[in-house]
A and B are shown apart, each in its own frame.
Chain A
Amino acid sequence: MSKYSVISNVRKEFISSFLKKKERVDGRAFDEMRSADIQVNPVPHAEGSAIASLGKTQVLAGIKLDIVEPFPDEPTKGVLISNAELLPLASKYFEPGPPNEVSIEFARVVDRAVRHSEALDMEKLFVEDEKVIGVFMDLYVVDYDGNLFDAAVLAASAALKNCRLPKIEDGKFVRTESSGNLPIEEKNLPVSCTFSKIDGSILLDPGMDEEMASDAMMTLGFTDGHVVSMQKRGTGSFKKSEVLNMVDIAFSKHDGLKKVLEVSS
């Protein structure tokens, strides 16, 4: 979160000195993620919710469903709207206030991973003429220790997977009664891998210090064998070969991340 954070030159040099030895400060391999875990339905009033943790980073995703008017150019499709808040209680670097460019980018990148994974079949969210289901997916960062994006995609996927669908009567929700789950194509649920580039080294799942020390970052959202979203963040650049290498590493993490999702229900 370079907008907020500075890292001391001493700390940055410390990280760099490890990278020269092909090591990371926390002992992980360059392509090793911290352990991931998901807790499902922590907020039962929401139709779907999940807290994902990635090391000490925690992101809460909540989903509310509403009956809404469709967008005029897609009258038979449901609507997905995502927002994110970097709660000030999550980090000394987060400040209260309206969404800024960091939280907006964060919400939009997670939204793109979910949207383009096609885990949600928007056509199935049609209710009747002029009425479709709106999926309001909101992300709250509750503890920030680096790499919000991958934790958020895990939380979003788990919340979607476990999202109930209230009964619909006369074009309105009866929230106290359920009519099963939100229609989800489970095999399409996205996962993501974020990389930091520091002094030419590419590190998977950067911790907070690594994130602050990084020259550039890249987040890839993907399903089995397909990239569905990518975003380069931060000043700095990548070579084509680095981009393709990141795709390989990400794909190799697919099954492990999906396993974390599978046990979450």
Chain B
Amino acid sequence: MDVELFKDGKRLDGRDVEDLRKPLKLEVGVLQKANGSAYMEWGKNKILAGVFGPKEAIPKHLANPERGVIRCIYTMSTFAGLEDHGRMGPNRRSIEISKVMREALENVVMLEKFPSTIIEVYVIVLQSEGGTRVSSLTAAAAALMDAGIPMKEPIAAVAAGKAGGKVILDLNKDEDNYGEADVPMAFTKSGDIVLFQMDGKLSKEELETAIDYGWKGTEKLFELQRKAFEEEYSEPLDKKLRMVE
């Protein structure tokens, strides 16, 4: 289907090719009972992430005597999209996303410090507008940091892609649906690619541009994560002490 995705050189929501969607908000410490949590609004996406652990790995067969394991579960609310009512529970898409998110987080969480334990990362997409896996991972990483779980370095994620013949950063739903390619990716702060997926049609040059845009976008997200912590923890600590079981 041919859908115009550019008007007068701008994207339909008024952005240039390298702009992130707005609002772009991240808050940590939003849940009372989770050891760490984050709430993110990114475009029309609304994401809630909660982290528990490290705690005893149950069921026991999950436990690894050499290192901790991560359980990561990405879910989407049944009313997240503009489409019909969604179904509760995991589906093939959410299972795949949970897997690639976990594999990204395993790069930075210092699991070797926590043998035989499990760290649980739960994410729910309350409202979706394209790019939910990357916003979920950005929020999940913030929630892990909020839980005080040692990480080698921060990670953040963003999607780039191609729509209306141009390589663009941070696709919205229409650009994803009617565009030519989608490239979700996550970087560590030192520039390692820890999540990378792509579908669509891209030349090598376009792919390179997409990765460059992705890195620039991710740098802005690192700043967003840093600010979220500054806001949460700039107050005297005793006000912010939360019960840890």
List chain A positions with a Cβ less than 8 A from chain B.
73, 99, 101, 104-105, 107-108, 112, 115-116, 118, 218, 223, 225-240, 243-244, 247-248, 251
Contacts and interface: CB of A to CB of B under 8 A. Distances in A.
The residue in B183, B192, B215 that gathers the most chain A C-beta atoms within 10 A of its C-beta is: B192
B139 interface: no
Contacts of A73: 83
A235 B107 contact: yes
A228 B199 contact: yes
Given A101-B95, A234-B103, A251-B204, 14 more contacts: A101-B96, A101-B98, A101-B99, A104-B95, A108-B93, A218-B196, A226-B202, A227-B203, A228-B201, A232-B194, A232-B195, A233-B100, A237-B188, A237-B192
Interface in B191-220: 191-204, 207-208, 211-212, 215
Nearest to B190: A237
Contact of B107 (A105, A115, A236, A248): A236
A244 B107 CA distance: 21
Contacts of B106: 235
B239 interface: no
A231 B92 CA distance: 16
B96 to A, nearest CB: 5
A172 B108 CA distance: 54
A247 B207 contact: yes
Interface in B66-100: 83, 92-93, 95-96, 98-100
Nearest to B177: A73
Contacts of B93: 108
Contact of A115 (B183, B193, B195, B199): B199
A233 B103 contact: yes
Nearest to B196: A232
The residue in A118, A234, A243 that gathers the most chain B C-beta atoms within 10 A of its C-beta is: A243
Interface in B94-130: 95-96, 98-100, 103, 106-107
A115 B199 CA distance: 9
Interface of B: 83, 92-93, 95-96, 98-100, 103, 106-107, 183, 188, 191-204, 207-208, 211-212, 215
B160 to A, nearest CB: 12
B200 A228 contact: yes
Given A101-B95, A243-B211, A232 B100 contact: yes
A237 B197 contact: no
10 contacts: A99-B92, A101-B95, A226-B201, A227-B198, A227-B207, A236-B103, A237-B107, A237-B188, A240-B212, A243-B207
B201 A230 contact: no
B99 to A, nearest CB: 5
Contact of B196 (A105, A118, A228, A231): A231
Contact of A244 (B92, B194, B204): B204
A238 B192 contact: yes
B199 A244 contact: no
A259 to B, nearest CB: 22
Contacts of B196: 218, 230-232, 238, 243
Contacts of B92: 99, 104, 107-108
Contacts of B202: 226-227
